[in-house]
């Protein structure tokens, strides 16, 4: 009889202990599920967050946290027409037309842009005249995940603290002797090229930009005539 009572007491303690363990496991399981759910939601929100930028001169984006929205070519207006549009566009290679209208003269137009490296010939670099002059310029619109801001810093190769580099390169713009205006763009330091043109006529042209010591430019550290770098940063 005593042995039976002892057995029942021990069995009761074991059952009670197992019950506590089961309850603890249940609590831990619920906590684990809650943490996993929170991580999943955070990851989903993170994947939904992002900002876009154009990588001028390349057909791909850089880094593991970027994705290609689309690739194309740099488009703009003629360099020798006054009143032309000044902004450069990254144009997809496959257009989708709507109204089937007739061709019209004296309207704004959009054409492919070419490199010009005259007087900047530095072999095996982005300033290689024989490799790039008269060639079309590619581009890619990229989406940087987990980021909300993108900036281009002229004159620098590295980003400021707390910013992540997307790519760096050289500052390009239109020739100041041309009739049309232009804008500054950051061409990748290892640019690609498209089809070569046979002439300069009716084409937007981008050239490397150099610093000009014009009394208000801080020279030094800027050096007159040096080609300016650039970097695209995200955060």
31-87 pLDDT, tens digit each: 656 665 555 555 555 567 899 999 999 999 987 889 999 999 999 887 666 656 779
Better-predicted residue by pLDDT, 21 or 107: 107
Residue 18's pLDDT is 56
Stretch 9-16: mean pLDDT, rounded?
47
Stretch 206-214: mean pLDDT, rounded?
94
Residue 127 pLDDT > 70, yes or no?
Answer: yes
Stretch 176-201: mean pLDDT, rounded?
87
The full 3-state SS of the chain, as one line of letters, equals CHHHHHHHHHHHHHHHHHHHHHHHHHHHHHHHHHHHHHHHHHHHHHHHCEEEEEEECCCCCCCCCEEEEEEEEEEECCCCCCCCCCCCEEEECCCCCCCCCCCCCCCCCCEECEECCCCCCCCCCCCCHHHHECEECEEEEEEEECCCCEEEEECCCCCCCCCEEEEEEEEEECCCCCCCCCCCEEEECCCCCCCECCCCCCCCEEEECECCCCCCCCCCCCCCCCECEEEEEEC
Neighbours of 183 (CB within 10 A): 13
Residue 139's pLDDT is 98
Stretch 209-228: mean pLDDT, rounded?
94
Q: Which of 63-67, 84-88, 93-97, 174-178 has the lowest mean pLDDT?
A: 174-178
Please, which pLDDT band fits residue 6 given cuts at 50, 70 and 90? Answer: very low
Nearest to 88 by CA among 40, 138, 44: 138
Both tokens assigned to 179: 């009739």
Stretch 202-229: mean pLDDT, rounded?
93
Residue 89's pLDDT is 96
Residue 15's pLDDT is 44
Stretch 147-169: mean pLDDT, rounded?
96
Residue 3 pLDDT > 50, yes or no?
Answer: no
Residue 210 pLDDT > 90, yes or no?
Answer: yes
In whole angstroms, give the CA distance from residue 138 to residue 214. 33
Residue 164 pLDDT > 90, yes or no?
Answer: yes
Residue 10's pLDDT is 43
């Amino acid at each position: 009889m005593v042995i039976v009572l002892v057995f029942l007491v021990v069995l009761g303690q074991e059952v009670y202990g197992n019950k506590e363990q089961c309850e603890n496991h249940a609590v831990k399981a619920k906590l684990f599920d809650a943490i996993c759910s929170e991580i999943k939601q955070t990851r989903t929100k993170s994947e939904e967050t992002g900002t876009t930028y154009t990588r001028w001169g390349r057909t791909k984006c850089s880094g593991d946290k970027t994705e290609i929205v689309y690739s194309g070519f740099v488009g703009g207006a003629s360099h020798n027409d006054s009143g032309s549009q000044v902004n450069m566009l990254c144009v997809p290679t496959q257009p989708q037309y709507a109204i089937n209208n007739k061709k019209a003269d004296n309207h704004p137009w959009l054409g492919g842009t070419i490199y010009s490296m005259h007087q900047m010939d530095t072999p095996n670099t982005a300033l290689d005249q024989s490799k790039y002059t008269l060639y079309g310029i590619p581009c890619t619109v990229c989406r940087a995940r987990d980021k909300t801001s993108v900036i281009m810093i002229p004159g620098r190769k590295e980003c400021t603290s707390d910013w992540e580099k997307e790519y760096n390169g050289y500052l390009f713009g239109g020739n100041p002797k041309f009739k049309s205006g232009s804008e500054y763009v950051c061409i990748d330091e290892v640019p690609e090229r498209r089809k070569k043109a046979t002439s300069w006529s009716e084409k937007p042209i981008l050239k490397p930009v150099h610093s000009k010591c014009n009394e208000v430019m801080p020279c030094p550290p800027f050096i007159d005539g040096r080609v300016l770098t650039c970097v695209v940063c995200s955060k």
